[in-house]
Amino acid sequence: MEENKWQEKFEDWIRENGPSLTMFIYKQVRNKELAEDLYQEVLISAYLNLEQFEERANFKSWMYKIAINKCRDFWRKQKAAQKFWEEKVYHYDMECSIPEPEDYVITRTSTKEMIDTINELPTIYREPILLYYFKDKSLLEISSAKELPISTVKTRMRRARNQLKEKTLLMEIAAN
């Protein structure tokens, strides 16, 4: 009965405040489609965690806090993806022109080395990296798919990145 009460309150709040929450998210990310996607993630996260809501807290504040955290997660993911590519952890050339033979060999070699480096990681570190960067899965999706706490997924991602940085640095030193 208690769970049903919270579901009804949740639905009522969404009907009443959903558009303003969507507008709030839009103001944070400045992209309509992205704001709608993040809004859906906020609703899912809030619904799945209704039992953790403390009645003494303000429901609106709780929902907006989830929204802010989802926006921050998005920004972190964007920043991490950008940093990932800038650090040349995986090199992929998007040029449409036909490369010179020397450039082709160098690119192919560095791409193969990076794939080999990623494949050298232990499975527990390799899987989250591949899912996050190459399958565009969120940390929450990886957590659900692997039936792991999100903190464990974050830790494994951090450790994998650190190992890739070390291996990439060693490869650069060996090349020089």
C-beta separation of 166 from 120 below 8 A: no
Average pLDDT over residues 11-16: 92
For residue 92, give the nearest of 80, 77, 113, 107 by alpha carbon.
107
| Residue 139 near residue 153, CB atoms below 8 Å | yes
Residue 55: predicted pLDDT: 77
Residue with the bigger pLDDT between 5 and 42: it is 42
pTM of the entire predicted model: 0.47
Task: Say if residue 65's pLDDT is above 70.
Answer: yes
**Percent of the chain surpassing pLDDT 70:** 74
Q: Which residues contact 163 (CB under 8 A, 6 or more apart)?
A: 121, 125
CB atoms within 10 A of CB 125: 21
22-35 pLDDT, tens per residue?
999 999 998 999 99
Residues 94-151: tens digit of each pLDDT: 444 555 555 554 455 566 677 777 788 898 988 888 888 778 888 889 999 999 998 8
More confident residue, 71 or 8: 71
CA distance 133 to 138: 9
Q: Which bin fits 148, alpha (ψ -120 to 50), beta or left (φ > 0)?
A: beta
* Mean of pLDDT over the chain: 80
